[in-house]
Amino acid sequence: MERIQNIYKVVGNEKLCPQFWRLTFDAPQMVRSVKPGQFVHIRTGGGLEPFFRRPFSVYRAQKHVEIFYEAVGPGTQLLSQKKKGDTVDVLGPVGTPFALPPEGTKQVVMIAGGIGIAPMLILSDVLKKKKCELVLLYGGRTRGHVYPMQEFKDGGVKVFVATDDGSVGVKGRVSKLFDKIKKDPQTTCLYTCGPNAMMAAVQEFAARCGLAGQAACEETMACGLGACLGCSIRTKHGYRTVCYDGPAFDIHEVIFHP
């Protein structure tokens, strides 16, 4: 039986733009089993600090597994020091993946803010086989939060960017890009990941236009396996854990907190 926790060899760790890094590790079994929206729970340090593992969405799973991260605190800073040939202690893949779009979907719109872009590349890799139009609306704070996103474009994804300061793309929030898409409830399906305020705006937009959608939620985690309930969020059906019931939820079910 496949183990859920393993030590994997680092294949690469590169800075893609001033804010974001990509870590690649060699995990052939995980490449075969992981689904879009699932995450890996990584022990970032060798000692007791940081005590808890840190969750990262799987960004891509082709030859190797890739995660995409922002060095924001002690765990991700330690991760950024990993070199080719080092090892990483990884639990996963874990969590409930995105549900794939319903039959008849012709346009899939991915709406991501900042590091919320992380689960979207693996999703587009799977969806491009379904022959629907793929669109990415990406919102970043400033130029340092935008990278070329060539892998998306190479996969036929139409990419639109907004930045808070207008340094790349349209000036303003990602909601400024909503006019770029078709809004037919029968054929359009949304996927979103990013700050709660952004996902709340996407939820409101989806409700107004009658669109189906999924949200990949984030919450600070401890066990990552549904045991401690530390990552619970409110939904219309009561509390649910992000690590086990999610990260992917029906966008209309989640009660987003600010």
Ligand X SMILES: Cc1cc2nc3c(=O)[nH]c(=O)nc-3n(C[C@H](O)[C@H](O)[C@H](O)COP(=O)(O)OP(=O)(O)OC[C@H]3O[C@@H](n4cnc5c(N)ncnc54)[C@H](O)[C@@H]3O)c2cc1C
241: Cα within 13 Å, side-chain hemisphere: 17
CB nearer to ligand X: give 67 or 201: 67
User: Should residue 72 be labelled a site residue for ligand FES when binding is judged by CB under 6 A?
Assistant: no
For β-strands 87-94 and 232-235, DSSP reports them as: unpaired
Residue 160's binding partner among ligand X, ligand FES, none (Cβ under 5 to 8 angstroms by kind) is: none
Give the list of residues 6+ apart from residue 221 with CB closer than 8 angstroms, or none: 41, 52, 53, 54, 55, 230, 231, 242, 243
CA distance 41 to 254: 23
Exposure string for 186-206, b = 16+ CB within 10 A, e = fewer: ebbbbbbbbbbebbbbbbebb
User: Should residue 114 be labelled a site residue for ligand X when binding is judged by CB under 6 A?
Assistant: no
Q: Which residue's Cβ lies closest to ligand X?
A: 73
CA distance 210 to 193: 19
User: Should residue 110 be labelled a site residue for ligand FES when binding is judged by CB under 6 A?
Assistant: no
The residue whose two tokens read 């799987």 is 58
User: Should residue 18 be labelled a site residue for ligand X when binding is judged by CB under 6 A?
Assistant: no
CB nearer to ligand FES: give 118 or 221: 221
User: Should residue 76 be labelled a site residue for ligand X when binding is judged by CB under 6 A?
Assistant: yes
CA distance 190 to 107: 9
Smallest distance, ligand X to C-beta of residue 179, A: 28
Residue 172's binding partner among ligand FES, ligand X, none (Cβ under 5 to 8 angstroms by kind) is: none
User: Should residue 39 be labelled a site residue for ligand X when binding is judged by CB under 6 A?
Assistant: yes
Interface with ligand X (CB under 6 A), residue from 25, 68, 249, 256: 68
CA distance 194 to 112: 6
Residue 74's binding partner among ligand FES, ligand X, none (Cβ under 5 to 8 angstroms by kind) is: ligand X
Binding site for ligand FES (CB under 6 A): 221-224, 226-231, 241, 243
Residues contributing to the site for ligand X (CB under 6 A)? 39, 50, 54-57, 67-70, 72-76, 115, 118, 218-221, 242, 247
